[in-house]
């Protein structure tokens, strides 16, 4: 048996119909803070997340984290019998999260109108690439496409190089965070009014917000920012610098006082008195000069010495980490940012801990991602299905 759920969402039931990646991450966060998340997968195909990322002995490692705190139910909701079971679950649920292409649930007879007829208090979160309406609604909506359209790729990479995509699911991850926020807002609204609702969330909106006020600058000034590598048009020094021992560090100076401390540390306090040094934009206009000073100083020292000197000077620096560096970092270890969770298949599994700390209602990782269909009998028994009906359903679902 799994540990009892605690946290601010204890008692909230979430049905996770979503797959790669925004919806599952949103549901993971809800589960981390106490929600009873029921993960629905096709009995034969399973969730596509099971095939994403590295695996050990055939066991997907990412699945262990993204599906933690979720009970695994095998159910083919395209089949009328499976759809009927889903509606029985909906009657007991608070939230349903899906990321099918617009119109898919309606085609299966499971659109929001049908769901709300069964449970008017249900919060339905619909996560898609481009939203439920508009010219692009029916386009395939993967994170890569959104990273391209949002302005992120256009602004990322060397000034003389190609637009650069992230090496991870950036758009999906930011959307997953946004979805968890939207769902909790909808639950608060329901608490006040008793009314469920539909959330229409596209991948593009959260990432365009994260990229910044480019549209505003274009509309007001006719300005279109371009790529400039690791530099910033808003301040300097802001770059990555290689250390003597072959590592890299990142330096930031968004605050004027930090920029002054950096220049004193690297032995060039004279530039602080230059008129252009008094603003971030002014310093960015002299980035070549500033980078030469900072980069030259860093290049003569090992990473540990650079980080120590910057820290003692009250300047802003961070080593550029690999996954191994992150695991070994003393701050990450001391704060429990990563934690080991026991898993029946793999033993202790290191994964990201719950994302934020709450003094009165903390989250928890009760169990890792389950094998396909592990909790089907338990969940259906909770609905009042007798063993014979469950067996008949499973037989039908496998061949449906």
**How many other C-beta atoms can be found within 10 angstroms of the C-beta atom of residue 326?**
13
Catalytic residue among 16, 79, 94, 172: 172
Query: Alpha carbon of 138 to those of 157, 200, 281: distances in Å?
Result: 30, 14, 42
DSSP of 25-73 = HHHHHHHHTT-EEEEEE-TTT--GGGGSS-EETTEEHHHHHHTTTEEEE
Write the CB contacts of 177 (distance below 8 Å, at least 6 apart in sequence): 25, 26, 29, 206
Q: CA-to-CA distance for 177 and 29, rounded, in angstroms?
A: 8
Cα 374 to Cα 64: distance, rounded to the nearest angstrom: 14
Q: How far is the CA of 145 from the CAs of 127, 136, 194, 198, in angstroms?
A: 15, 12, 37, 25
Q: Which residues pair with 124 in a beta bridge?
A: 96, 198
- Distance, CA of 352 to CA of 267 (rounded, Å): 40
Please write down the HEC assignment for all residues of 163-178. CCCCCCCHHHHHHHHH
Task: Give the separation between CA 323 and CA 338, rounded to whole angstroms.
Answer: 11
Dihedrals phi, psi of 188, to nearest 5 degrees: -65, -40
Q: CB-based contacts of 366: which residues, under 8 Å, 6+ apart? A: 2, 3, 4, 5, 68, 69
Count the neighbouring beta carbons within 10 Å of the beta carbon of residue 82.
Answer: 21
Q: Is 172 designated active site? A: yes
Distance CA 64, CA 29 (A): 14
Give catalytic residue positions.
Answer: 172
């Amino acid at each position: 048996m799994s540990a009892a759920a605690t946290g601010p969402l204890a008692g909230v039931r979430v049905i996770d119909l979503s797959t790669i990646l925004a919806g599952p991450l949103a549901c993971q966060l809800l589960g981390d803070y106490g929600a009873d998340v029921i993960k629905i997968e096709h009995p034969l195909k399973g969730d596509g997340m099971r095939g994403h990322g590295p695996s050990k002995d055939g066991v997907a490692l990412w699945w262990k984290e993204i599906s933690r705190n979720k009970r695994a139910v095998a159910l083919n909701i395209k089949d009328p019998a499976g759809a009927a079971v889903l509606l029985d679950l909906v009657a007991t649920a608070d939230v349903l999260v899906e990321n099918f292409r617009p119109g898919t649930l309606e085609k299966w007879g499971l659109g929001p109108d049908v769901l709300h007829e069964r449970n008017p208090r249900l919060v339905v979160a619909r996560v898609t690439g481009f939203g439920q309406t508009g010219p692009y609604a029916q386009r395939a909506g993967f994170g890569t496409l959104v990273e391209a359209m949002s302005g992120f790729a256009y602004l990322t990479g060397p000034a003389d190089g190609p637009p650069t995509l992230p090496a991870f699911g950036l758009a999906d991850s930011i959307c997953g965070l946004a979805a968890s926020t939207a769902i909790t807002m909808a639950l608060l609204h329901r608490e006040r009014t008793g009314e469920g609702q539909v959330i229409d969330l596209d991948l593009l909106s959260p990432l365009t917000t994260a990229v910044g006020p480019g549209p505003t600058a274009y509309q007001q000034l006719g300005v279109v920012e371009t790529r400039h590598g690791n530099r910033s048009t808003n301040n300097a020094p802001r770059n990555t610098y290689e250390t003597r021992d072959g590592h890299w560090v990142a330096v930031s100076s968004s605050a004027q006082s930090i920029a002054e401390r950096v220049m004193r540390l690297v032995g060039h306090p004279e530039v602080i008195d230059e008129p252009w040094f008094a603003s971030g934009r002014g310093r960015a206009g002299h980035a070549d000069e500033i980078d030469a000073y900072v980069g030259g100083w860093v290049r003569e020292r090992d990473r540990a010495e650079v980080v120590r000197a910057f820290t003692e000077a009250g300047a802003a620096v961070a080593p550029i980490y690999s996954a191994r560096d992150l695991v070994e970092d003393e701050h990450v270890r001391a704060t429990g940012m990563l934690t080991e969770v026991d898993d029946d298949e793999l033993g202790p599994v290191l994964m990201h801990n719950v994302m934020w700390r709450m003094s009165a209602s903390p989250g928890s990782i009760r169990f890792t991602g389950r094998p396909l269909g592990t909790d089907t009998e338990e969940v259906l028994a909770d609905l009042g299905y007798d063993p014979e009906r469950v067996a008949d359903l499973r037989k039908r679902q496998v061949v449906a």
